[in-house]
Structure 1
Amino acid sequence: MTEHPILITGGTGKVGGRAVARLGSKGLPVRVGSRSAEPRFDWTDRSTWDAALHGVSKVFIVPQDGELLTRPFVERAKELGVGRIVLLSGRGVDVPGYADPESVAGRTHIDGEDAVRHCGLEWTIVRPAWFAQNFSEGFLRDSVLAGELRLPAGDGAASFVDAEDIAAVAVAALVEDTHVGETYELSGPSALTLGDAVATISGATGRTVRYVSLSPEEFVAEQVAEGRPRADAEDYADAVGPIRRDMDSHLSDGVQKALGRQPRSFALFVKEAAASGAWQDRPRTSSAAPSDHSNQSFG
């Protein structure tokens, strides 16, 4: 009998791509959910959902911010015979004062978690801290290459988590039965200020990178001067707010609980990213704001 594939939405992203690779290394059938895959999957085009879900047994959901799409997607997945959902959510979803619950990302994760918990399927929720890979693959990379990271994060620290660990937990939840009904809070093994983080990158690369702490007002003014709409700049500043308010420095035990080992360190991430040439190329994008709450992650 042919084994049913596992669908990974966001299958070419920082976490989804790693999950696809891990499932493939296990010899498990995996379907990449992306606009460039076959069958094509596009969160905003519901006509693509059925083909992506056809014959699928389990789904890893990397949600799409901007519209509340997780709930109808989970409902359709259930109708088509999916039995297990693993959801990538974000740190602080249930923490008062962490983030604006009415923000785009906040509403996406709050509604998404509620949908998954009450869908009647097997489920696991993964809530990572800020992604370490934001510095090498995400919205902070160009600032690293430019040599200056300017954010309204003050002297707050964050317990950056390696996307390799996030993907490893997600895959475990997809293929093992012991994670059903669990909510895993994920972080790295220690908290670093942004100054600490860029100093680690500087030490590994020989590239001079410094962190400049701005007030939220200064940050928004700079972003607006660079052409960003004020509302987007304010959302960006708000997303960094939990670090400034020291709400991201705590350590979480989800990696240990799910995998039985310690999480990967930020220093190890930097060493491997530097060895792979992550900071040797020209900037690939403008200093775009994070596109989702991951939290947190901004994955």
Structure 2
Amino acid sequence: MPRIFVLGASGTVGSELSRLLAAQGETVVKATSRAPTAPDQVQLDLLNHGGLSTAFNGVDRAFFLAPPGHTNQDVLLAPLVDEAKARGLKKVVLMSAMGANADDNAPLRKAERRLEASGLAYNIIRPNWFMQNFNTFWLQGIRSAGQIFLPVGAAKGSFIDARDIAAVAARLLTSDTFANRDFDLTGPLALDHNEVAAILTQASGKPIGFTDIPPEAMLTALKEAGLPQDYAEFLLVILGYFKAGYAERTTDHVREITGQAPRTLAQYAKDYKASWA
């Protein structure tokens, strides 16, 4: 039976995507950087591409994403695209990030272009900032001080639930309807972080606010959290784009592809309220 390869299968999007595909009766191959501990896993080291020659055995479709913590996404992803081409995969879906196509010289855009030029049937999805950041990356400030600490001012973002991203990817991997198209994915509404904090407060019952901090303070916090200098600086740059208003735009692509409206932040907050309570 043909199999679908999922990179980042233990991550926020990849885990939900794997669940959705399995629920549809698809056979999923989950990539792991460690020695496999389950029959549905295959080892693949993105940094040195160890295991790449066997990772796609029996695979006919694949989901790739830009690995977090690294800024040379093109270097990491290009060999996967080339191997997919050599294996003649029927479809590759690549998840990058909204705005990645603004600069042809940006690493993520180079990875996108590699896929576009491969001759493979493909889709590229570019989600906006995840709602799930509030129960993961920005959680420490909420738990310790009841505050979302970010250098974004009053700018708004059309945050998207990672579950909707996974639903889009699942549809694209199992259908040829939208072949060779790229999509920016957003939630239904743009909100600033004071509005986000109010919604999280209502859902959790815990007072949560927003504090706009200087970029230098954000950089220090990211480095103290263990992020490499280059990746911390990269995050600061894209947070700067958020502050400049580039994350406010909304699209209707989630509904177009899945037939369902994207989740609201209120729906997300209700589902994840235990994270902040």
Q: Do the structures match in fold with TM over 0.5?
A: yes
Relative distance call for 1:227 and 1:94 in structure 2 (3 A) is closer
Q: In the alignment, which residue of structure 2 is the partner of 1:283?
A: none
Q: In the alignment, which residue of structure 2 is the partner of 1:273?
A: 272
Relative distance call for 1:207 and 1:66 in structure 2 (3 A) is same
SS at match of 1:57: strand
Q: For residue 235 of structure 1, what is the amino acid of its counterpart?
A: F
Q: For residue 200 of structure 1, what is the amino acid of its counterpart?
A: I
Q: Distance in 2 between matches of 1:189 and 1:250?
A: 10
- 1:104-160 deviation digits (Å, cap 9, x = unpaired): xx41x1111001101111000101000011112x31122222212221101001000
Q: TM-score, normalised by structure 1?
A: 0.83
The Cα shift of 1:83 comes to: 1.8
Gaps of 5+ in 2: none
Q: CA RMSD in A?
A: 2.2
Aligned length: 267
Q: How does 1:80-99 map to 2 (within 5 A)?
A: 80-95=87-102
1:46 aligned onto 2:49 = yes
Q: Distance in 2 between matches of 1:255 and 1:188?
A: 8
Q: In the alignment, which residue of structure 2 is the partner of 1:56?
A: 59
The Cα shift of 1:49 comes to: 1.3
The Cα shift of 1:221 comes to: 5.7
Gaps of 5+ in 1: 281-299
Q: Is the 8 A contact 1:152 1:216 kept in 2?
A: yes
Q: Is the 8 A contact 1:16 1:167 kept in 2?
A: yes
Identify the match of residue 23 of structure 2 among 22, 25, 31: 25
- 1:166-191 deviation digits (Å, cap 9, x = unpaired): 00000100001101011111100001
Q: Is the 8 A contact 1:91 1:127 kept in 2?
A: yes
Relative distance call for 1:50 and 1:255 in structure 2 (3 A) is same
Q: In the alignment, which residue of structure 2 is the partner of 1:239?
A: 238
Q: Distance in 2 between matches of 1:224 and 1:44?
A: 21
Q: How does 1:107-122 map to 2 (within 5 A)?
A: 107=107, 109-122=108-121
1:180 aligned onto 2:179 = yes
Relative distance call for 1:228 and 1:183 in structure 2 (3 A) is closer
1:76 aligned onto 2:83 = yes
- 1:17-43 deviation digits (Å, cap 9, x = unpaired): 110000010111111112243321221
Q: In the alignment, which residue of structure 2 is the partner of 1:197?
A: 196
Q: For residue 76 of structure 2, what is the amino acid of its counterpart?
A: L
Q: In the alignment, which residue of structure 2 is the partner of 1:296?
A: none
Relative distance call for 1:59 and 1:222 in structure 2 (3 A) is closer
Q: Is the 8 A contact 1:63 1:88 kept in 2?
A: yes
Q: In the alignment, which residue of structure 2 is the partner of 1:293?
A: none
The Cα shift of 1:194 comes to: 1.2
Q: Distance in 2 between matches of 1:43 and 1:140?
A: 26
Q: Distance in 1 between matches of 2:11 and 2:230?
A: 26
User: Percent identity, aligned pairs only?
Assistant: 28
